[in-house]
Amino acid sequence: MAQSLDRLKESPSQTAGPYVHIGLTPNFCGIGGVYQSDLGSTMVNDQTKGERIELRIRVLDGTGTPLKDALVEIWQADADGLYNSPSELRGAADPDFLGWGRQPTDMETGVCLFRTIKPGRVPFRDGRPMAPHISLWIVARGINIGLNTRLYFADEDKANAEDPILARIEHRVRVPTLIAERQGDTYVFDIHLQGEKETVFFDS
């Protein structure tokens, strides 16, 4: 026997369930008067620096049916590539941009909309710039542990080609599952949980 490492185990995840809205977006599901507004519903104000964009996201199950009870959170850098976080040591991020947003998928259409800004580039661990990207976390009924993925931008071909995380993906045919298509100021991104077009999910 050796000495104990004396560490705790992380609390095991459980599904967010079909009524996740009660806790995380109560106003969206008709529970008014407890919180002024749903946390994460507004990401930008008039002062926020950067190019305004809209993300139009759907989450699809193994039959291609959009989930109407999913919840998506996004986390991203500001226009200069700085995170609004205590662990960001490279400089102060835009004070008018928290960098975090939360939206449920629409109960009828399954569409989830974020109004945000296009993020700047952030360095990888060795200092090389990563391509502009937004980190996503997806929870829903039937998802036992939150799924992590990234959204990259179709109009950033050159940056995407040198991105160290995209380069990690052995099966190159899967890389396009992480690239959102541009339509005007909107980026369209379908997340396939399962099947032939399955989105790349990360363990990091």
Binding residues among 119-158 for another protein as defined by CB under 8 A: 122-127, 130, 133, 135, 137, 139-148, 150
Each residue 42-81 as x (binds another protein by CB under 8 A) or -, in order, gives -------------------xxx---x-x---x-x-x----
What is the distance in angstroms between the CA of the first residue and the CA of the last residue of the chain? 31
Q: Per CB under 8 A, which of residues 80..99 are in contact with another protein?
A: 83-89, 92-93, 98-99
> Nearest CA to 153 among 47, 54, 23, 37?
54
Count of residues binding another protein (CB under 8 A)? 83
3 part of the interface to another protein, by CB under 8 A = no
| Cβ proximity of 42 and 28 under 8 Å | no
Order across the sheet with 112-117: list the strands: 100-104, 71-75, 133-139, 147-153, 179-183, 186-192, 52-60, 112-117
| Cβ proximity of 83 and 93 under 8 Å | yes
Please state the closest distance from residue 153 (CB atom) to another protein, in A: 15
| Cβ proximity of 151 and 112 under 8 Å | no
185 part of the interface to another protein, by CB under 8 A = no
33 part of the interface to another protein, by CB under 8 A = yes
Closer to another protein by Cβ: residue 172 or 185: 172
Count other Cβ atoms within 10 Å, centred on residue 122: 19
Please state the closest distance from residue 71 (CB atom) to another protein, in A: 9
CA 3 to mean position of chain CA atoms:
40
Please state the closest distance from residue 149 (CB atom) to another protein, in A: 9
Stretch that binds another protein, among 49-57, 108-116, 152-160, 164-172 (CB under 8 A): 164-172
106 part of the interface to another protein, by CB under 8 A = no
Please state the closest distance from residue 184 (CB atom) to another protein, in A: 26
In whole angstroms, what is the distance from residue 88 CA to residue 71 CA?
26
